Structure 1
Amino acid sequence: MLSQNLPYMDLTYFDLLSALVILVVGIIIAKIIAGMFKSGLQKTELPELVAEFLSRFVLALLYVAVILATVSALGPDISSIVVGLSAVIGLILGFGMQDTLTNLAAGIWIATLRPFDKGEFVSVTGYSGSVSAVGFMATELLTPDNKLVTIPNKVIWGSAIENATRMPTRRVDVNVGISYDTKLDQAIQVAMDLMKNNSMVLGDPAPAVVTTELADSSVNLQLRAWANTSDYWGVKGDLTNGILNAYKDADIEIPYPQLDVHMDKE
């Protein structure tokens, strides 16, 4: 039975079965080798992002080898397959694979030069999120509201990248407006006391309060406090809520926008 030829083909059932076995076993072995390779890279000092990119690259090469071995088991000589694939790939590249190659090259540069690492929070091309993965063609960002954004590597490499978590410390800015009738020195002192009493605010660089604008309805101040990057949002929330309560306790008015209209009697 296995030695019989398939209908309208020179292949036997044994050849087809052998090819299927090679394909399945080859995929399993490829995944095991790629996993071992990734585990070995993780024991080195290579960043996780680079290790993942290289392991994906090795897995892709192993898959190509498995496919070639599977096709070879069906009968044709492997050399002819390689030549045929090369011709097809050359034809495809001539008809619009430039973007794919550009994305691949950009992915290699991103993994090598590391403008960001896996888990870091970045803003690029109008999107913000934590870096989930860098693939051959695209980079994945996980937004704060748990949306997965996939951006082509060439777009990222050609754009400005803002990395919010690469540095160990960040400055927290909180804007607040006070009434023109308020004593400025008192308002600044209340804000300074609020920042100095927060255990997550660093003493060096020292916190500061600056006047940013004399607006139509208020004198606008900005609280500037330095914190560890991991404490950024905690400090941001504490200062935003705290300055409101502190000014209320000190009877310092945070005015609403208002417009004075004067009417002259003719």
Structure 2
Amino acid sequence: MSVGDIFTTPLPFLGFSLYQLVVFIVALVIGIIIVRIVANILKKTMDKLKTPPLVSGLVVSIIKVIGYILVILSVLPILGIDTSAAGLGLSAVIGLILGFGLQDTWANMAAGVWLAVIRPFDKGDYVQVAGYSGIIHGIGVMSTTLKTFDNVVITIPNKNIWGAPIVNYTREDTRRVDLDVGVAYGTDLDKAINVALETVKKHPKVLEEPAPQVVVTQLADSSVNLQIRAWTKTSDYGAVKADLTKMIYEEFSKAGIEIPFPQLDVHIRDMPK
């Protein structure tokens, strides 16, 4: 048997030759490369059109999945496999799987499309959704990933996000810092409010409009509670809140304004004999 016969003779139990196998592998690799090139071109085009990253990422993922399926169906005939029969078999398998609970998969895919189209958040936004808080790291066909400030990645099924309230903390350019502080009963409230206002106005990143406010919010068990409200750029929110907390404590201490801690008065009386 010649070398040519070895490559062209069908392999036992497989029904195709080494030559067919090599051509199949080469065609498969070329097909995958073409799909990736098309996906990259599409991604660059969408980036030039300033398409939101979440939308472009989802579209590219879908194109890749469809492309890979088409490549596989296109190269299977090289091995002598009837793709029409394979397509029918694949349809039957999909139908069977759907009957056993693949509805969640389609629900996640549909929710991913709606999230990309309606865009309740963009990549890099800080959100709270489905009981989790974090920065949007990416959205895929099936799930969305959040990254917390301590660098933990959380993966949430898209259908859980679409069916839950979404709180987007960074969508607007400005955000209000709310700082609650209690002062002791008997404190001159006008003085405490003025000290708090002057302290807030000193901070260079607190906006003049809307103007800062200090209001009395509650007569609590151990304190009269004040709420300090100051507007700042969303990107400065965390730093401004930390600074104001420290500044209020220091300025209240200088002004002799007591910030009480919870306490309980216990009265002991003699029991009658």
Question: What band does the TM-score fall into relative to the shorter chain?
Answer: over 0.9
> In the aligned structure 2, how far is the partner of 1:172 from the partner of 1:193?
16
Q: What SS class does the counterpart of residue 212 from structure 1 fall into?
A: strand
Q: TM-score, normalised by structure 2?
A: 0.94
CA deviations over 1:41-81 (Å, ceiling 9, x no partner): 01113211111111111111111112112322211233332
Q: What SS class does the counterpart of residue 162 from structure 1 fall into?
A: strand
Task: Pick the aligned partner of 1:177 from 179, 182, 186.
Answer: 182
Task: Pick the aligned partner of 2:208 from 199, 203, 214.
Answer: 203
Per the TM alignment, residue 182 of structure 1 is displaced from its structure 2 partner at its CA by 1.6
Matched AA of 1:73: I
Structure 1 residue aligned with 2:38: 33
Is residue 2:68 matched to residue 1:63?
yes
Is residue 2:218 matched to residue 1:213?
yes
Is residue 2:106 matched to residue 1:83?
no
Q: TM-score, normalised by structure 1?
A: 0.96
> In the aligned structure 1, how far is the partner of 2:230 from the partner of 2:245?
12
> In the aligned structure 2, how far is the partner of 1:148 from the partner of 1:71?
38
Q: Which runs of 5+ in 1 are unaligned?
A: none
> In the aligned structure 2, how far is the partner of 1:193 from the partner of 1:67?
70
Structure 2 residue aligned with 1:10: 15
Structure 1 residue aligned with 2:3: none
RMSD: 1.3
The aligned length equals 266
> In the aligned structure 2, how far is the partner of 1:193 from the partner of 1:72?
79
Describe how 1:1-266 pairs up with structure 2 within 5 A: 1-266=6-271
> In the aligned structure 1, how far is the partner of 2:221 from the partner of 2:240?
29
Q: Which runs of 5+ in 2 are unaligned?
A: 1-5
Q: What SS class does the counterpart of residue 146 from structure 1 fall into?
A: coil
Matched AA of 1:83: L
Per the TM alignment, residue 161 of structure 1 is displaced from its structure 2 partner at its CA by 0.6
CA deviations over 1:75-121 (Å, ceiling 9, x no partner): 12333322222222222222221111111111111111111111101
Relative to structure 2, which stretch is displaced further, 93-102 or 164-173? 93-102
Q: What SS class does the counterpart of residue 7 from structure 2 fall into?
A: coil
Percent identity reads 51
Relative to structure 2, which stretch is displaced further, 106-115 or 74-83? 74-83
Per the TM alignment, residue 264 of structure 1 is displaced from its structure 2 partner at its CA by 2.4
